[in-house]
C-alpha cells in the first residue's frame, strides 16, 4: 500500500515541494515590502553549490556539517540578494531587469557553475545528507508513515517557517510595518518607518531562504552537485507567490502540488507507465501547470483584491512622490 503510486507521489511531492516552499516564503517576504526579486533561481543555485561545498570540505560530524552547510547556503543566498537590493533600493534600477541579471549572473551558466567547476564539486556524491528522522517502524505506518513521517528535518523546519512567517506578518509590529512599506511606502515613511532598511532586511532574508532552498536540492533531494540542478524551481517559486496570493499558508499548498507534479515524472518512468508522449508531458507538466495556474490567479481581476502589495516593483524615492 505504501508503494502505491499515489502515496509515493504524495510523499516525494512533499520532499520535492520543500525547496519550492522555502524559496517562495523568501520571495513572499521580499515582495510584501515591495521588492520583486526575479533572481530566485540564481540565489538558489549559489546556495546549492555553497552548501554542498561546505559539506564536502568540513571535517566534522554529520549533524554539525549539515547545520554549517545550511548556514553557508543561507549566507550565500543573502550575498546574492544584497546585489539585487543595492541595485534596486539604493540605485533605483529596474527590479525586473536587475532580477534577471541576478539569475544570469548566478545561474546555471554563471557563478554557481563557475564555483562548482572551480571547487571541483561535480564528481563526488555528498559526504553527508539529510535523512528521514523518524525510526523505520514509524515510517512503515500505512499511508501517513511515508507521507508525514518519512521526511527529513528540512521538511519539518519548513513547516515551522510557514507558521513563523505567517505570525510575523499578521501579528508582530515589524511584520505589520513591513506590509505597510509594501502597500504604501510614502505613508510608511511618514509614520517614521525606515523604508530602505525594511526593504533591505526583507530582501536579504528572502535571499537566505532561497539559499537554503537550493541546499535542499544538493543535500537532501539529489545529494550531489550538478550545474543547473534546480531546473527552474526558482521561477516556479516566484509563480507560487502569485498563486498563493502572497499568503504563506497557501505557499505550502501550492509548493506541495507542484512538488507532486515534479515527482510524477520519475515515478511514471520507473513504473513504465506510458500514456502518449510520456517523457514530453510528464517533464513539461510542472511548467505548463505553472502557466495555467498563473492564468487562473491573474484573470477575473482577482489580483489586486487578493493581496498583491500595491507598491510591488516600484522604487521609493522620498523626494519624488
Residues 6+ apart with CB under 8 A from 131: 152
* Spatial CA neighbour of 44 closest among 225, 253, 241, 260: 225
43 or 147: whose CB is closer to other proteins? 43
Which one, of 232, 233, 254, 258, lies nearest residue 243 by Cα? 254
The reply to whether 303 sits near other proteins by the rule CB under 8 A is yes
Q: 309, 272, 233, 250: which is closest to 45 by C-alpha?
A: 233
Is residue 218 within the footprint of other proteins (CB under 8 A)? no
Note whether 85 binds other proteins by CB under 8 A: no
| 3-state secondary structure at position 134 | coil
Give least dist CB 218 to other proteins, A: 16
Binding flags for other proteins, 181-200, as an x/- string (CB under 8 A): --------------------
* Residue choice 56, 78, 112, 129 for contact with other proteins (CB under 8 A): 112
Q: Which is nearer to other proteins, 21 or 66 (CB)?
A: 21
Write out the binding residues for other proteins, residues 32-71 only, by CB under 8 A. Answer: 38
Asked if 316 interacts with other proteins (CB under 8 A), we say no
Residue 20 interacting with other proteins (CB under 8 A): no
Judged by CB, which is closer to other proteins: 119, or 133?
A: 119
Q: What is the 3-state secondary structure (H, E, C) of 145-200?
A: HHHHHCCEHHHHHHHHHHHHHHHHHHHCHHHHHHHHHHHCHHHHHHCCCCHHHHHH
Binding track, positions 147-176, relative to other proteins; x by CB under 8 A: ------------------------------
Nearer to other proteins, 11 or 28 (CB): 28
Q: In b/e form, how buried is each residue of 37-50, taking b as 16+ CB within 10 angstroms?
A: bbbbbbbbbbbbbb
The CA distance from 149 to 136, in Å, is 9
Q: Report the distance separating Cα 96 and Cα 104, nearest Å.
A: 12
Residue placing its CB nearer to other proteins in the complex, 167 or 310: 310
The residue (of 25 and 70) whose beta carbon lies closer to other proteins is: 25
How far is Cα 30 from Cα 108, in angstroms, rounded to an integer?
Answer: 23
Q: Which residues bind other proteins (CB under 8 A)?
A: 38, 83, 87, 91-94, 96-98, 100-118, 227, 231-232, 235-236, 238-239, 242, 277, 279-280, 283-284, 287-288, 290-291, 294-295, 298-299, 301, 303, 319-320
Amino acid at each position: 500500500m505504501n508503494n502505491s503510486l499515489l502515496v509515493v507521489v504524495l510523499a516525494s511531492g512533499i520532499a520535492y515541494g520543500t525547496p519550492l516552499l522555502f524559496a517562495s516564503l523568501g520571495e513572499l517576504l521580499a515582495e510584501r515590502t515591495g521588492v520583486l526579486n526575479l533572481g530566485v533561481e540564481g540565489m538558489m543555485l549559489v546556495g546549492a553549490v555553497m552548501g554542498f561545498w561546505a559539506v564536502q570540505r568540513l571535517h566534522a560530524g554529520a549533524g554539525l556539517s549539515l547545520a554549517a552547510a545550511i548556514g553557508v547556503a543561507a549566507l550565500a543566498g543573502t550575498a546574492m540578494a544584497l546585489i539585487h537590493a543595492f541595485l534596486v533600493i539604493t540605485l533605483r534600477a529596474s527590479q525586473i531587469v536587475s532580477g534577471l541579471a541576478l539569475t544570469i549572473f548566478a545561474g546555471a551558466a554563471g557563478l554557481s557553475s563557475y564555483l562548482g567547476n572551480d571547487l571541483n564539486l561535480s564528481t563526488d556524491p555528498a559526504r553527508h545528507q539529510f535523512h528521514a528522522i523518524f525510526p523505520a517502524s514509524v515510517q512503515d505506518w500505512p499511508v501517513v508513515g511515508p507521507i508525514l513521517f518519512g521526511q527529513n528535518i528540512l521538511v519539518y523546519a519548513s513547516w515551522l517557517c510557514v507558521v513563523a512567517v505567517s505570525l510575523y506578518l499578521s501579528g508582530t509590529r515589524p511584520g505589520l510595518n513591513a506590509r505597510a512599506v509594501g502597500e504604501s511606502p510614502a505613508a510608511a515613511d511618514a509614520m517614521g518607518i525606515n523604508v530602505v532598511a525594511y526593504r533591505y532586511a526583507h530582501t536579504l532574508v528572502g535571499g537566505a531562504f532561497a539559499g537554503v532552498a537550493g541546499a535542499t536540492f544538493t543535500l537532501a533531494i539529489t545529494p550531489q552537485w550538478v550545474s543547473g540542478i534546480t531546473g527552474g524551481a526558482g521561477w516556479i517559486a516566484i509563480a507560487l507567490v502569485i498563486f498563493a496570493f502572497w499568503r504563506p499558508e497557501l505557499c505550502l499548498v501550492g509548493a506541495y502540488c507542484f512538488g507532486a507534479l515534479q515527482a510524477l515524472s520519475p515515478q511514471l518512468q520507473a513504473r513504465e507507465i506510458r500514456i502518449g508522449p510520456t517523457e514530453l508531458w510528464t517533464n513539461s507538466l510542472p511548467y505548463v501547470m505553472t502557466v495555467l495556474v498563473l492564468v487562473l490567479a491573474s484573470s477575473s481581476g482577482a489580483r489586486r483584491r487578493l493581496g498583491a502589495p500595491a507598491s510591488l516593483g516600484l522604487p521609493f524615492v522620498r523626494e519624488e512622490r
